[in-house]
Amino acid sequence: MVNNVKEKKRKQPLIRTAAGSLRGEWAGERPADAAVFLGVPYAAPPVGNLRFMAPRPHPGWTGVRPATGFGPGCPQLPRLIEAGTLGQPRFPPRFPQDEDCLYLNIWSPELEPARSPVLFWIHGGAFTNGSSSLPWYNGLRLASAGRMVVVTVNYRLGPLGFLYAPGTGDSNAGLRDQLAALAWVRENIAAFGGDPDNITVAGQSAGALSAIALLTAPAAQGLFRRVIAQSPNLGDGPLSRGEAAWNTHQYLELLGLRPSAVRELRRLPAARLLAAARDLEQREARFFNPHMVFQLVTDGETLASPPLEALAAGGQNKADVLIGSNRDEMAAFHQGDKRVLGIGREGVLERYRPVFFEEADAVYRQYAAARPGATPGQILMDLGGDELFRMPSLRLAELREAAGHPAYVYQFDWQSPAPGFGACHGLELPFVFDNFAEWKGAPMLKGLQRNRVALLARAIQQAWIAFVRNGDPNHAEIPHWEPYTTARRTTLRIDTALEAVGDLAGAAKRARWIRATRPAQAAGGSRAA
């Protein structure tokens, strides 16, 4: 699958891990950019009595295990990645799914004891969808360009990963999977040429929120050095134990089970669990409120409190942080949504009066002035993007500065050539991975001329590589990018031109969001975006 023709005679890479030996393949063109190991198990299959439980160590194997094909992703129903506006029914292609899904993939340019930096990537998908086998996350070009090891990981999703049922399963099983994978990488990555003392945890969307959660999770301390969080949805989650317990109560009701029969969940087919989860999401759906029913829970064990609250209380490690959001995040979810695009001014105010109260009219005028000629629907999406993504990310940057570890902040403003998408959620991914060929058929990139973004993609990717290597994203091909401080609030604005801008969000906007959202964050996260 990945061997270059010129490499047919080259001996396939063989690596010994704590669980057994793995045989991978060579990939690339010069004559081989990296050794690739796909479908590497990092924990025992979470099936049977291990459903809903914390991951257990893999029992290992005898002989040499082939690592030349992706492992299955967690069972899931079609959602955003297959049926939403980021994709269409045939984009991306379907992938194998099974409850036996705890696998990771490794791209390594140097297998000798090189101690190369390691990027540990957590995929997004609202904690209900996605897989590390998706072509979006092909790490070959990134590993080759950065001379670093790239790892992508599967974890349990939806009710299989985030059902809250004390006494029946372990809370945050999906987050525990990520922790187990991270511990596996720290123990074994030196054999693949990686440096276990220089690991960056990175992700986008739910993967970015996971990375931020790991920043504050007690069990993750000492396992990594840096964090890259691309569009973390910090405005929604985690759930409190009370919220999660209520969701479980409703879920059992939809399955026709009594609360005392929660153990029956371990015997039901996965397809039935997923169907009931979809029904619960539909029951809980509110207009312009993409609230995640199955997601992280502040269980008092893996997560003591919401990340922003934990950071405010000083519960954080000294990891370097790079964080940012996209200018038009919500366009990915509502491009083509007639109810959103056709809303009037009063509809927007009705949606946001419970957030801003008497300031709602002033906030609307402020957002309208910032986007001349915008329709109320566009203003609604701007508000939603700020509430869910941008403003909480800036709050995190403020907290990092207060702790003496300032973060680097970016805003991705480059506009999709396809009408209606703007700088939508996820649009930065092909720039970071520099794998535009893997996005063939993506509606948000329709009409893209690859040669016109090649240099921009290189500048972005090199910034991410520099950060993974030494905690500083600066390099010769971008303007000087300072860490975010309350004095200067430097943000790298990424567009056809790159510029380091002071307070790109604006003081007046920030002040209103602080007044509107801090009480909600202290209570466990906003539910409004």
| pLDDT at residue 113, rounded to an integer | 77
Distances (CA, A) of 463 to 122, 363, 430, 494: 19, 34, 14, 11
Nearest-5° angle of CA 238, CA 315, CA 389? 40
Residue 33, pLDDT score: 84
Dist. CA 385–CA 174, nearest whole Å = 26
Whether the Cβ atoms of residue 502 and residue 486 lie closer than 8 Å to each other: no
Give the residue among 188, 173, 181 at the shortest CA–CA distance from 203.
181
DSSP state of 28: S
Number of CB atoms found within 10 A of residue 306's CB: 25
Encode 159-168: b = buried (16+ Cβ within 10 Å), e = exposed. Answer: bbbbbbbeeb
Average pLDDT over residues 95-106: 95
Could you write out the three-class secondary structure of 434-492?
CCHHHHCCCHHHCCCCHHHCHHHHHHHHHHHHHHHHHCCCCCCCCCCCCCCCCCCCEEE
Residue 416 catalytic?
Answer: no
pLDDT band at 524 (very low <50, low <70, confident <90, very high): very low
Mean pLDDT of 235-253: 92
Q: Write out the two tokens for 309.
A: 């609250």
Q: Are 443 and 426 in contact (CB under 8 A)?
A: no
pLDDT for the residue numbered 130:
92
Cβ pair 320, 400 in contact under 8 A:
no
Structural domains of the chain, with CATH:
5-247+290-329+386-502 (3.40.50.1820)
Q: Mean pLDDT for the chain?
A: 89
The predicted structure's pLDDT at residue 315: 65
CA distance 324 to 286: 27
The pLDDT of residue 7 is: 43
Cβ(407)–Cβ(251) below 8 Å = no
Q: Which residues pair with 490 in a beta bridge?
A: 502
Residue 209 banded pLDDT, cuts 50, 70, 90: very high
pLDDT of residue 526: 39
Are the CB atoms for 394 and 407 separated by under 8 Å? Answer: no
Helices (H), 59-139: 80-83
CA distance 308 to 238: 10
pLDDT class of 168 with cuts at 50, 70, 90: confident
Question: In angstroms, rounded to a whole number, what is the distance separating the alpha carbons of residues 154 and 101?
Answer: 7
CB-based burial label for 424 (10 Å; 0-12, 13-18, 19+): buried
Counted residue by residue, the chain has a size of: 529
**Confidence category of residue 112, pLDDT binned at 50, 70, 90:** confident
Q: What is the pLDDT of residue 291?
A: 78
3-state SS, residue 283: helix
Query: How many Å apart are CA 47 and CA 44, to the nearest integer?
Result: 9
Of the residues 425, 428, 438, 526, only one is catalytic, namely: 425
Q: Average pLDDT for residues 482-488, to the nearest whole number? A: 95
Q: For residue 108, what pLDDT band results from cuts at 50, 70 and 90? A: very high
Among candidate residues 281, 329, 398, 438, the one labeled active-site is 329
C-alpha to C-alpha distance for 89 and 99, rounded to whole angstroms: 23
pLDDT in tens, 305-347: 999 998 888 766 789 999 999 999 999 888 888 899 999 999 9
Of the residues 116, 133, 205, 393, only one is catalytic, namely: 205
pLDDT computed for residue 509 by the predictor = 82
pLDDT score at 82: 38
Residue 359 has pLDDT above 70, yes or no: yes
Residues near 221 by Cβ (< 8 Å), separated by ≥ 6?
A: 317
pLDDT at 79: 61
Rounded Cα gap, residues 11 and 8, in angstroms? 8
- Residue 288: which H helix or E strand, with range? none
In the predicted model, what is the mean pLDDT of residues 495-511? 88
Does residue 6 contact residue 30 with C-beta atoms inside 8 Å? no
Q: Which residue has the higher pLDDT, 527 or 417?
A: 417
Q: Catalytic site residue 329?
A: yes
Q: What is the mean pLDDT of residues 70-96?
A: 64
494 within 8 A of 341, measured Cβ to Cβ: no
pLDDT for the residue 290: 74
Question: 3-class SS at 360?
Answer: helix
Sequence letter at residue 390: R
Cα-only R_g, the chain: 22
Confidence bin at 88 (pLDDT 50/70/90): very low
Residue 249 is given by DSSP the state H
Confidence at residue 31, expressed as pLDDT on a 0 to 100 scale: 58
Concatenating the DSSP letter of every residue in 327-339 gives TTTTHHHHTT-HH
**pLDDT tens digits along 2-49:** 444 444 457 899 999 999 999 999 988 765 689 999 999 999 999 999
* Residue 34, beta-bridge partner list: 27
Q: Quick one: average pLDDT of 201-226?
A: 95
Region 372-376 average pLDDT: 95
Nearest C-alpha neighbor of 5 from the set 24, 25, 29, 23: 29
Residue 91 has pLDDT above 50, yes or no: no
- Reported as a pLDDT band with limits 50, 70 and 90, residue 520 is very low
Q: Catalytic residue at 475? A: no
13 token code pair: 């890479």
Environment class of residue 499 by beta-carbon count within 10 Å: exposed (0-12), middle (13-18) or buried (19+)? middle
Compute the average pLDDT of residues 188-200.
96
CA angle, 184 then 190 then 194, to 5° = 100
Tally of CB atoms within 10 A around 519: 9
Per-residue pLDDT band for 93 (boundaries 50, 70, 90) equals low
Q: How far apart are CA 310 and CA 313, in angstroms?
A: 5
Q: Answer yes or no: are the C-beta atoms of 291 and 333 closer than 8 Å.
A: no
pTM, 2 dp: 0.93
Q: What is the rounded CA–CA span in Å between residue 461 and residue 468? A: 11
